[in-house]
Structure 1
Amino acid sequence: MLPAVTRTATAAITALALALGAAAPAHALGKNERNVLKGVFAAVLIHELVKQGRANAQPAPAPIPVQPVPHPGYQANVAAAAFYEFSPQARRMIQQRLAAYGYYRGGIDGKWGPGTAAAVQAYARDVNSSASLASRDGTIRLYNHLIG
């Protein structure tokens, strides 16, 4: 692409130089006239570069479909989001039940943390409900089972 652009630019500069030389001597042009000619030259050059770029443009490749892959903390994030859909009292009740079953050893504060996350995952694993932690609705059912 570069050699074609260089040839085009060289041709444009040569043509402009010949046209200017024939129109008037360079020393007869004032500052404003020279600035106008610089602007015309720049516009012609930019036009040629854009035209050359469009001629060499390639179509954009088709997008590759991407399957979302949950990151390792995905279940913890779903479980935490579902946990905070409950009232503070219900969250404390979930922690109390997990503690009563021997899964939770932290403070009963109704807040999600590493202890609550580990307890929920262990409880779900032991009651064969680990798959329920992959969705909000499944996690809500698991929490409701703990409260109820």
Structure 2
Amino acid sequence: MLLSVTKARTSLVAALTAAAIAAVPAAPALAWGDKEQGFVAGVATAVIVDELLKQGRMAREARRAPRTVYVEPRSTYEPAYRSTSVYATPAAKAFQSYSLSERKAIQRNLRAWGYYRGGIDGAFGPGTYNAVTAYARDEGQSASLRSTSGAYGVYDGLLF
């Protein structure tokens, strides 16, 4: 979520900068001397650089912020380790139903966001499973991976 907000903010700053640059030639440039034009260009540059530095600081702080996770207490005993194969999970079944190009796109997006480190081959294995579960956990959708329909929602979020 933070990544999309940062991208949107950067796009907004870029659009405002482009609009400001486009509006400058429409101003009465002949009435301004070289010093006045240089001053305005300097102020615009300072504002843009300040905003970019501020966004960089905010992104670093967001990465350093500790995450608080509440774990619901279990009413019955469940072993901490289950011997279920990752290939038999609902996430695997949903992943295999996509086309090869869509599976590769899911892996590319997971890699771009720092969750996946394996090869982009479209195959579902432990690396893809760990990346998908980490992504779903960070997006607050870890419960969605318990069903095939929920896994489709997570994958569609990665594709679209």
TM-score (norm 1): 0.50
Distance between the aligned counterparts of 1:128 and 1:74, measured in 2? 23
1:116 aligned to 2:146? no
Mapped partners of 1:141, 1:78: distance in 2? 12
Question: Shift in Å at residue 74 of structure 1?
Answer: 7.2
Q: Is the 8 A contact 1:75 1:133 kept in 2?
A: no
The residue aligned with 2:112 is: 100
Q: Deviations over 1:73-110 (max 9, x none)?
A: 37761111100000000000000000000000000000
What residue is the counterpart of 2:93 in the other structure?
A: 81
Shift of 1:116: 0.2
Question: What do the CA deviations read for 1:7-66 (whole angstroms, capped 9, x no partner)?
Answer: xxxxxxxxxxxxxxxxxxxxxxxxxxxxxxxxxxxxxxxxxxxxxxxxxxxxxxxxxxxx
Question: Which letter maps to 1:90?
Answer: E
Equivalent residue letter for 1:85: S
Alpha-carbon contact 1:94-1:146 (below 8 Å) kept: yes
* Aligned match of 1:139: 151
Match of 1:127 in 2: 139
Distance in 2, Cα, partners of 1:74 & 1:142: 20
Percent of aligned pairs sharing the same letter: 48
- Cα RMSD (Å) of the superposition? 1.9
Ranges in structure 2 where 5+ consecutive residues have no aligned partner: 1-77
Gaps of 5+ in 1: 1-68
Stretches (4+) displaced over 6 A: none
| Alpha-carbon distance in 2 for matches of 1:75, 1:88 | 19
SS in 2 for 1:110: coil
